[in-house]
Structure 1
Amino acid sequence: MLLDCVIIGGGPAGLNASLVLARAKKNIILLDEDKPRNAVTHESHGFITRDGIKPSEFKRIAKQDLEKYPNLSVENQRVIDIKKENESFIIHTDDGNSYHSRKVILATGLQDVLPDIEGIHEFYGTSLFVCPFCDGWELKDRRLVVIAESDRVMHLTKMVSNWSSDLVVCTNGTNIFSKEQKELLSDKNIKVIEDEIASLQGDNGYLLKVKFKDGKEMEREGGFVACELKQASILAEKLGCDMNQMSGIEIDDFGRTNIDGIYASGDTTFSLPQLIVAASEGSKVASGVVSDLINEDF
C-alpha cells in the first residue's frame, strides 16, 4: 500500500505532525524507536495545560489521542534506511518491514553529548540541565554552576543569571573567555574558574559539590551544562539533506528539505529545545505536507 506520509520519530514534533496529518484524512504511519532525548528528564515544562508532566506520560496521552484515527498507525520500529523510488520512498526498518510512502517527515531528534566529567551523568536531568527556560524555575535563587567548554558559555551564563544571582562558571580547563567578558562577569559578581574538574559529587541525583583536579572543592546546588549536540539518526545524511551551520537539517518555513518529498521537524533542525516549540513545528510541517499532497492531486 502506498502511504501518504511516514513520520519517523515519536517525540512532540512527530506526534503532533501525526495528529494534523491524520485529521487531514491522510493514510500515515508513525515509526517510533522510543529512545527519546528527554528520557532522563523527570518533568517537562513550558507547555500550557501540561506544565510539569513526565515526558513518558505526555507521550502516553499523545498516543492515546492518536488512537481514535483509523487512518493512522503507530509502530515501535527503528528505521535503518530510506530509498527514493521514482516519486516516492521505501522505508526499511530493523525488523525487516518495508513501507512505501509519498512523503517522509524526519523527526528523529538530537543526542546530547555531555562533557567528559566524572559523575556528570548521575546528576543530568535531576539537578543539572541544559535549558534554563525548561528547568530554571526549579533551580531559582540557588547556588548554581554553569559548566561549558565551548564559546556558547557566555550566552548560557547570561541566560542562567536570570534565575539565580549566585553563579560560578567552570570551563573545565579551557580558556574561552575574552578579557572583556571576564571583566563583565566580574562586575556581575559571577566567578570564573578555568581549572579542570575532577568530578561532580552529590546524593540521589542532586549535586552538592564540584571537585577540581588541584584539590579544591566548591559547593553548588545544581546548574546548567552546555553540551554538544549531534543528529540522533544518520538518515538525513544518507538522503543527502543539506545541513545548516549548527548541523541541523536545513528546511524552509514548512519543513521542506532540499530533497523533494523529505521534510524535517523538531530538534533535528536545531530549533529551540522546548516541548511546545517542537510540537508547534510538527503541526506546521504537517500542514506543509498536506498542502503539497493536495496540490499534487488537485
Structure 2
Amino acid sequence: MKNKNFEVIIIGGSYAGLSAAMALGRSLRKVLIIDSGLACNRQTPHSHNFITQDGVPPAEISAKAKDQVLQYKTVAFMNDLAINAEKTESGFSVYTQSGEKLVTKKLIFATGIKDLVPDIEGFKACWGTSLIHCPYCHGFEFRNKKTGILANGERAFHLASLVNNLTDDITILTMGKADFKPEQFAKLEAHNIPIMESEISALEHQEGQLKSLVFTNGDREAFDALYAGFPFKQHSDIPFSLGCELTEQGHIKVNEFQQTTVEGVYACGDNATMMRSVAAAVAGGNLAGAMTNAALTKERF
C-alpha cells in the first residue's frame, strides 16, 4: 500500500466497521479499513430485525455496504489481518500479517468475537442456522416449532420467557443437574416447559437444519431449533496489548461514546456490546465514527 498514513484505521470491516467508516468518510477523514473477511455470521442464511434489510443474506448486506462506503474517496479498504498495534507520540502504528506498517491518529476496533462452540457432532454445522442465539434475530422463523433451550439457571429461565411468546413447545436442556430457584421451577411447570438433564452427544441435521438431538444415554428426540449461548473470546488480542479494559462479561469496556479505556481507541459491534445483531452493530459503528471525528475535530479546531 502506497499511502501508509491515516487519520483513522478501523480494524474489522463488517457491519460496525463499515458503518464507522461511512460516518468518517462523509466528514472527509482519511480512513483505512483492515479486514480478514471472516464475518462471525457467515453461516447465517438470512439477517432479520434490521429495518429495510429484513430477510436479506448477511453477505449481501455487507457487500452493498462496502460498495457504498468506498464511494467516499477518502476511505480505503485492505484485505489483510491486523496482528499488532503500538502507541506512538502522534497516535498508533498498526502491523499486518502481510508485513505492512501503517500509521494512524485514532483506532477503531470492530473486530467482533469468536464463539467457543463445543466440539460436539453437529454443533458447528448448525450454529447460526438452526442452533441460534437470539429470539429477536431468529425466533420468528421458528415460531410454533419444537424448540430446545440449551442453558441452565437464569439464562435458561430468561430465554424460556422470551421464546414462550413464539412457541408453546419448549424444552430446557441443562446438560446436567437443573439449577433453578423454587419459584422458577414452579413457573416453568405452569407453562408446561419440561427440563431434560441428559448430556447431548450429537445434533442430527440436514445442511445445518436441526432434525433431532441425540443423548449420551442413547435417547433421541426430534427438535426444529435449539437456542444456546456459548462462551466467547475477543476475536483480536490487539486491544489487550494496548491496555483496553474488559467488562465482567468479556466485552471491550466502552463509554456512551464508544470510547475504550485507552485514549484515542474506540470499539463497536459485537466486541463491545451484549446486543448482538446487525442493527446494533451498525448503530454502534455509526456512533464510533461520529465520536472519532469529533475527537479529531476538537484537536484541530
TM-score category of the 2 structures, normalised to the smaller one: over 0.9
1:171 equivalenced with 2:174 (yes/no): yes
1:1-298 equivalence runs, <5 A: 1-148=4-151, 151-298=154-301
Stretch deviating more after TM superposition (150-159 or 269-278): 150-159
Contact 1:139 1:223 in 2 (8 A): no
> Deviation at 1:116?
4.0
Q: What secondary structure does 2:178 align onto?
A: coil
> Deviation at 1:3?
1.2
Q: Deviations over 1:212-258 (max 9, x none)?
A: 22222222111211211211111111111011111111111111111
Q: What secondary structure does 2:99 align onto?
A: coil
Contact 1:153 1:226 in 2 (8 A): no
* Identity of matched residues, %: 31
Q: Deviations over 1:127-165 (max 9, x none)?
A: 221111001111001111111257522222222222111
Q: Deviations over 1:247-277 (max 9, x none)?
A: 1111111111111111111111123011011
Give the distance between the partners of 1:230 and 1:172, measured in 2 at CA: 22
Q: What secondary structure does 1:271 align onto?
A: coil
Give the distance between the partners of 1:40 and 1:85, measured in 2 at CA: 38
Stretch deviating more after TM superposition (251-260 or 152-161): 152-161
Contact 1:10 1:31 in 2 (8 A): yes
Misfit runs of 4+, over 3 Å: none
Stretch deviating more after TM superposition (72-81 or 209-218): 209-218
Structure 2 unpaired stretches of 5+: none
> Deviation at 1:117?
2.9
Report the CA distance shift for 1:7/1:37 in structure 2 as closer, same or farther (over 3 A). same
Contact 2:213 2:221 in 1 (8 A): yes
Give the distance between the partners of 2:123 and 2:207, measured in 1 at CA: 13
User: For the aligned residues, what is the CA RMSD?
Assistant: 1.4
Give the distance between the partners of 1:216 and 1:152, measured in 2 at CA: 25
Stretch deviating more after TM superposition (32-41 or 219-228): 219-228
Report the CA distance shift for 1:174/1:109 in structure 2 as closer, same or farther (over 3 A). farther
Structure 1 unpaired stretches of 5+: none
Q: How does the TM-score come out when normalised to structure 1?
A: 0.96
Aligned residue pairs total 298
Give the distance between the partners of 1:266 and 1:27, measured in 2 at CA: 21
Q: Deviations over 1:44-73 (max 9, x none)?
A: 111111111111111110111022111110
Give the distance between the partners of 2:56 and 2:67, measured in 1 at CA: 15
